[in-house]
Amino acid sequence: MKFCFSILGYAFFLLVNGCDAPVHELYVSLKATTGEDGKIFTDIDSALEEVIRIRQNDDTDLITIHLEEGEYRLASPIKISPRHGSLKIRGKGSVNTVVKGSKKLEVAWKKYDDNIWIAQLDRRDAFDQLFIDDEPQILARYPNYDENGGHWQGHAADAISTERVKTWKHPVGAIVHAMHSGEWGDFHYRATGIDEDGQLILVGGHQNNRPSEMHKTYRMVENVFEELDSPGEWFLDSDGKLYYWPVYGINLENAIVEGSVLKGLLELMGTEKTPVKDITLEGIRFEHTQRTFMEEYEPLLRSDWTIYRGGAIFLEGTEDISISDCEFTNLGGNAIFVSDYSRKISISHNHIHDCGAGGICFVGNPDAVRSPSFQYNEFVPIKVMDTMTGPKTNAYPSECIADNNLVHSIGRIEKQTAGVEIAMALNITVSNNSIYDVPRAGINIGDGTWGGHLIEYNDVFNTVLESGDHGAFNSWGRDRFWHPNRDTMDLIVARNPEMPKWDAIKTTIIRNNRFRCDHGWDIDLDDGSSNYHIYNNVCLNGGLKLREGFNRTVENNIILNNGFHPHVWFKNSGDVFRHNIVFTEHKDIRLQDWGKEVDYNFYPDTKTLALSQEKGVDTHSGSGDVLFVDAANGNYNIPENSPAVAIGFEPFDTKGFGVKDEKLKGLAKTPEIPKLFFGPETEKSETFDWLGSKIKTIATLEERSAAGLNKTAGVLIMEIDEEGILKTSGLQAGDVILAGDGNALNNVGDLMKFYQNTNWTGELKLTIFRNQKERTVILKTK
């Protein structure tokens, strides 16, 4: 098949580059015409076939495929192999060039009842995402969709109760989504029938690496005809009948109706010996893939994760690939998945949003890991363990970068997901990204194999929205040294002190980021995470946690309204925490010792400093007013005359986080800048938002008198969210919080310290004052 190219463009290329290599410009257009030289390509596969024909004559030719404006609906994924050689695929921008995994459905609508319309489709039309006029519709569900409804935009404890199931005529095929009982991710099931007790018979539940029962509250059911009871909902039965309740204002007669039929859109597949090389993708929007939560999943070593190895774009056996200036939206699963042997992959300047699973995944092959274990309680005995350091093969991503991407509103179905996921990889750079509105971590590193990652200049916030016990940045390190029995692990590392570096062979650097997590830690290095250097970060709310691991240096960070959480440290951990600005005393749990150094930190006041010094650390630390340039507006730059500088803090620029791309920057949100709960800059008269309600310190005689208190102290609930945690726990507007677990809470700062120290348990025992009497209330934060 012939191709079309620009003579002027070709002449210009020769002028600039000489005559060493011909250039080929191929065009794909949905508005093809026939000219003297033949037909312009009307589909992408035909253009790729032409590329292979060219390569048979000369593999050095430079080839560009131009995708003209239009919507390219695929019957199967685009496949690029080593045979295509060096190649550029360029669209006309994400607004104009769209690659879809959906099929346009031929429908003839008829009235079914007062609200619902029906259309008979071909029974072979199987899809699980429906789009009308390019807008996603809602698969019939309970409870009904509410964008602000929390987990799955609405959840209910009775989602699959026997009483509700009795109302369904055909429950087979119902889809059940439920959180892990500990909120460590999610499970998904499909109903195959009903047992003798009226309970659904379910298959699935394989999507989490920490098995548990379903969460009793966080449940949602869909794909049930009887639950089609609100605008925007639809249902497709086994006979191909499509039922739909139109949203207000839609013209069904002229509407474009599409159903997703593909799990992936583009595959770049080679091998280590014969990789796909030198491919550039730019200026394309990818959308409308099927949901993948019931596909085969695989565990990512001993992290909490399992994962479906696939995405809208899937790369394996690749080198020197660039994906830039693209948009990924309305996808049922992952957006971009970089798998196994992959080198020098650049993913930059993309907008990834409204996806069912993860954003960008760099995931190696377990075959590259020496003596891998795959679940929390597994362990390979030392006597049979491979004790060599580093990877066993090259089947992992390395020297890859995710830079200047805007990633938000992902994990719409799958909750064990992240904006950027790294597992079994080496030397991955994640920089200048804005990541927010995600159900779990913004950036997640699943293990210590093999480190060397650089995490810098990212803006990560509104995280852990639908899960628990996690962070805006999260990592695990359950590598070869790690054992589920702590006593056994202590013996292992005492006998093999270099063992933590067998897998975490290179230091991972986290620097110059801004993190905010309101439902966990801003930075959470969990079980065994080792060999990290963390510096020059701004933590806006959740503090920083280091759990059992080795060789972590944390220095020169600003940790607002919170502090340092060292948990279950080893003897001789080699950990360092120094020259940081913190707002609370250390929140240590079951430490064997305090590592290599915890000193030269800066606190808001002498009382908080003294509480940390009582633990035997921070001998040379200081306290006072940091003198932030403009804390109220998020400028935490520190002048050279700050007393924090005197104890070794080195000022750094606290602005300029997140995407730098001007187009994406104009679309990106930024985090809410917190009021400071502690220190000289905190005004007692200020009102603070807490768990959706408004609180303030009892600061005047008038406030004390109005509440009937015998001293000017406590925290007044000024306004209460009628659907929030405080209200559902029995608190009321006008209540004054006096104590937590019997300890006086004299001001908002005291309350925040108590909350941050005990919130991980899920329950807080509060003493309140109401109607001239003290009462006890259990605040349930989960």
Distance of alpha carbon 344 from alpha carbon 20, whole angstroms: 26
Give this prediction's pTM: 0.93
- The two tokens of residue 648 are 């070794």
Give residue 603's pLDDT: 97
Q: Would you mind telling me the total number of residues written for the chain in this entry? A: 782
Distance of alpha carbon 174 from alpha carbon 562, whole angstroms: 44
Distances (CA, A) of 150 to 22, 291, 685: 56, 20, 32
Q: Tell me which residue has tokens 């809602």.
A: 138
pLDDT above 50 (res 5): no
Give residue 701's pLDDT: 83
Span 380-391, mean pLDDT? 97
Share of the chain above pLDDT 90, in %: 86
Give residue 429's pLDDT: 98
pLDDT above 90 (res 417): yes
Span 489-504, mean pLDDT? 96
Q: Assess contact for 419 and 360: CB atoms under 8 A.
A: yes
Distance of alpha carbon 547 from alpha carbon 776, whole angstroms: 33
Span 485-499, mean pLDDT? 95
Share of the chain above pLDDT 70, in %: 95
Q: Assess contact for 104 and 95: CB atoms under 8 A.
A: no
Tell me which of 37-46, 230-239, 249-258 is least confident.
37-46
Indicate the pLDDT class of residue 684, thresholds 50, 70 and 90.
low
Span 3-14, mean pLDDT? 37
Distance of alpha carbon 631 from alpha carbon 517, whole angstroms: 18
User: 266-385+392-643: which CATH topology?
Assistant: Pectate Lyase C-like (2.160.20)
Indicate the pLDDT class of residue 733, thresholds 50, 70 and 90.
very high
Average pLDDT, the chain: 93
Q: In sequence order, what are the beta bridge partners of 768?
A: 737, 775
Span 54-59, mean pLDDT? 86
- The two tokens of residue 93 are 């921008």
- The two tokens of residue 2 are 């012939």
Q: Which of 457, 109, 103 is nearest to 253 (CA)?
A: 109
Span 105-133, mean pLDDT? 95
Helices (H), 668-778: 701-707, 725-728, 748-758
Q: What is the largest distance, in Å, between two alpha-carbon atoms of the chain? A: 96
pLDDT above 80 (res 758): no
Give residue 489's pLDDT: 95
Using CA atoms in the order 592, 598, 603, 609, what is the torsion angle rounded to 10 degrees? 60
Q: Assess contact for 445 and 303: CB atoms under 8 A.
A: no
Give residue 235's pLDDT: 98
Indicate the pLDDT class of residue 663, thresholds 50, 70 and 90.
very high
Strand segments, DSSP code E, in 549-691 are: 552-555, 558-559, 564-567, 576-578, 581-582, 597-599, 602-603, 622-623, 687-690
Span 587-595, mean pLDDT? 94
Cα-flanking dihedrals φ and ψ of residue 452, to 5°?
75, 10
pLDDT above 50 (res 52): yes
Span 355-376, mean pLDDT? 98
Greater pLDDT, 388 or 39: 388
pLDDT above 80 (res 16): no
Residue 312 is given by DSSP the state S
Give residue 760's pLDDT: 60
Interval 639-662: pLDDT, tens: 999 999 999 999 999 999 999 999
Give residue 296's pLDDT: 97
pLDDT above 70 (res 208): yes
Q: Assess contact for 90 and 242: CB atoms under 8 A.
A: no
Domain boundaries, the chain: 7-98, 103-260, 266-385+392-643, 687-780
Q: Which of 268, 495, 242 is nearest to 383 (CA)?
A: 495
Distance of alpha carbon 374 from alpha carbon 204, whole angstroms: 19
Give residue 645's pLDDT: 98
- 474-499: b or e for each residue (b if 16 or more CB lie within 10 Å)? bbbbbbbbbbeeeeebeebbeeeeeb
Q: Provide the CB-side half-sphere exposure for 662 (13 A, CA).
A: 0
Give residue 163's pLDDT: 97
Greater pLDDT, 262 or 706: 262
Tell me which of 401-410, 547-556, 682-691 is least confident.
682-691
Distance of alpha carbon 758 from alpha carbon 752, whole angstroms: 10
Taking the domain 687-780, which CATH number applies? 2.30.42.10
pLDDT above 50 (res 607): yes
What angle (nearest 5°) sits at the alpha carbon of residue 247, between those of residues 140 and 107?
Answer: 75
